[in-house]
Amino acid sequence: MTDILTVVHAELNGLFERTQAALDPWTSEHYEYDDGYTSGLARALAILESHITPPDKGNK
């Protein structure tokens, strides 16, 4: 299961990084939507990271 989570995390992290890098409040026609989308990706990454982190590293 952890291997699957790691793969999913890598995919989402790549998507987040690309989307965040392209996010520009001055040129985006839908900045609020785009910002919310990256915020959702960040939350999804945090959830995955909490399941990937070994118990002795902070996950209870």
Tens digit of pLDDT for each residue in 6-50? 888 899 889 888 888 777 767 767 767 667 777 888 888 888 888
The verdict on pTM exceeding 0.85 is no
Residue 2 included in any domain: yes
Alpha carbons within 13 A on the beta-carbon side of 45:
14
Query: Domains in the chain: how many in total?
Result: 1
Alpha carbon distance 16, 1 (integer Å): 22
Cα–Cα distances in angstroms (integers) from residue 54 to residues 31, 41, 59, in the given order? 36, 22, 6
Alpha carbon distance 42, 17 (integer Å): 10
Could you tell me which residue, 19 or 59, shows the higher pLDDT? Answer: 19
Q: Which residue has the tokens 């392209």?
A: 22
User: Do the beta carbons of residue 49 and residue 59 sit within 8 Å?
Assistant: no
Residue 29 included in any domain: no
- Return the pLDDT at 28: 66
Residue 26 included in any domain: no
Write out the residue range of the structural domain in which residue 9 sits: 1-21+36-52
Residue 47 included in any domain: yes
